[in-house]
Amino acid sequence: MMQPTLEYTKRLDKEDSLSKFREEFYLRQGTIYMDGNSLGLLSKRAERALLESVEDWKEHGIDGWTKGKHPWFDLSERLADLLAPLVGAATEEVIVTGSTTVNLHQLVATFYQPQGKRTKILADELTFPSDIYALQSQLRIHEYDPDQYLIRVKSRDGRIIEEEDIIEAMTDEVALIILPTVQYRSGQILDMKRLTAEAHKRGILIGFDGCHSVGAIPHSFSEWDVDFAYWCNYKYLNGGPGSVGGLYVNRKHFGTNPGLAGWFGSRKDKQFDLEHTFTPAETAGAYQIGTPHVLSMAPLLGSLEIFVEAGIENIRKKSLEINQYFMDLIEVELTGLGFEIGNPRTDARRGGHVCLEHPEAARICKSLKENGIIPDFRAPNVIRLAPIALYTSYEDVWNVVQILKKIMLEKQYEKFANGREIVA
């Protein structure tokens, strides 16, 4: 049985088989970082890989493309090899390239092929805004009015989207579906396997935004037959600010011409023929565009090593346990203080963070920061707190709850205005 005591918390840390990874990360003395779902922390291995890549540049100049410790020419492919197990795909189905939003543009430009009355794109009303902006602009390129051609499935409670409601919206007017794997605010996991099967039954292609799940939960994109996916590598994967993103394309679509072509999508052996006829790679590599951002990819070499060693199943197991403990503590220690837990409670439906709701969320977040805790705020009333399997301890979670309690009982938050900062 869970016990709300510091002794019990310390025992959980002793029994934690992933606790040894904590010392690999740069944790700041006196702060508890609960925002690894927005920007993961730097690990020593990621730092080393970055410095080695700088060294390669220093030593080899242009020859760094093929020489040095981490040659750049096939770096995107080598990283894909490390990343593929985290998304449940074959190496050739994955590539490290672009950013989330750019990759979404690429994949929609490639796979949105309106025909006859099948012209609409289906998304949901809780999705991250950048994805919506990308879809709206892609529709405009086709001269379709986004207000009519972009369908956004409604949430019944403002927190989650029911799979039934999505399936009901899969009409014969829908050409393409874009959904998150995990909702960024409530942490709801969508049932990707079921939604993919239902979409395919109706002849609709489906792609997922994996920003809030890759590195936190296991996926089986190939087995579920998902058409494509895209994600960033700077959240749970700790690739660093602006780190290069990733994409997955189901092998059955290999050979589909990229909507946005560029020379780095070439077959590797043909790229330097420098012909004006494009020969795309026969892999997910075809959806790369230009020269890879080498220094923004290099940290991933070190970071992904840690994931290979730790194992995504173990990471998910601890993530579920530590988040459960966190929620249990919140319920015991913070009752009557106006908090509500907004994420789904069952294991199969919750991602890597706790969505804590409070009408005073914005200023409670400021108070948390003043107390050395780094959360993030999502308007209007959500405090996101993410205990990260690789570097958050049970004692951290205990301390967060104790400090939250103190902030509330002493009304410390009242000295702040209840609005957000520029970067919330």
Known binding residue 101? Answer is yes
Q: Which of 9, 76, 97, 99 binds ligand PLP (CB under 6 A)?
A: 99
Q: Which is nearer to ligand PLP, 21 or 236 (CB)?
A: 236
Residue with tokens 């894909």: 80
CB of 381 closer than 8 Å to CB of 361:
yes
Q: Which range touches ligand PLP (CB under 6 A), out of 17-25, 60-68, 125-133, 379-387?
A: 125-133
Under rule CB under 6 A, which residues in 309-368 are in contact with ligand PLP?
Answer: none
Q: Which of 139, 217, 226, 232 binds ligand PLP (CB under 6 A)?
A: 232
Q: Which is nearer to ligand PLP, 94 or 330 (CB)?
A: 94
Q: Which range touches ligand PLP (CB under 6 A), out of 21-29, 74-82, 126-134, 269-277?
A: 126-134
Q: What share of the chain is helix, strand, coil (3-state, %, to 5)?
A: 45, 15, 40
Q: Considering the rule CB under 6 A, would residue 53 count as an interface residue with ligand PLP?
A: no
Task: Please tell me whether residue 182 adopts helix, strand or coil conformation.
Answer: strand
Alpha-carbon distance of 324 to 72, in angstroms, equals: 42
Give the x-and-dash track for 170-199 against ligand PLP (CB under 6 A).
Answer: ----------x---x---------------
Beta strands per DSSP E along 167-217: 174-180, 205-209
Q: Considering the rule CB under 6 A, would residue 260 count as an interface residue with ligand PLP?
A: no
* Cis previous bond, 299, omega within 30: no
**Which distant-in-sequence residues (6+ apart) come within 8 Å of 409 by Cβ?**
337
Strands of the sheet containing 354-357, edge to edge, are: 340-341, 354-357, 382-385, 376-378
**Furthest C-alpha separation in the chain:** 70
Task: Please tell me whether residue 410 adopts helix, strand or coil conformation.
Answer: coil
Residue 87 C-beta: closest distance to ligand PLP, Å = 15
Tokens linked to 186 = 């409530």
Known binding residue 391? Answer is no
Q: Which is nearer to ligand PLP, 99 or 392 (CB)?
A: 99
Residue 211 C-beta: closest distance to ligand PLP, Å = 3
CB of 87 closer than 8 Å to CB of 214:
yes
* Site residues, ligand PLP (CB under 6 A): 99-101, 128, 130-131, 180, 184, 209, 211-212, 232
Annotation: binding site for pyridoxal 5'-phosphate? 100-101, 128-131, 209, 212, 234, 263, 291
Annotation: binding site? 100-101, 128-131, 209, 212, 234, 263, 291
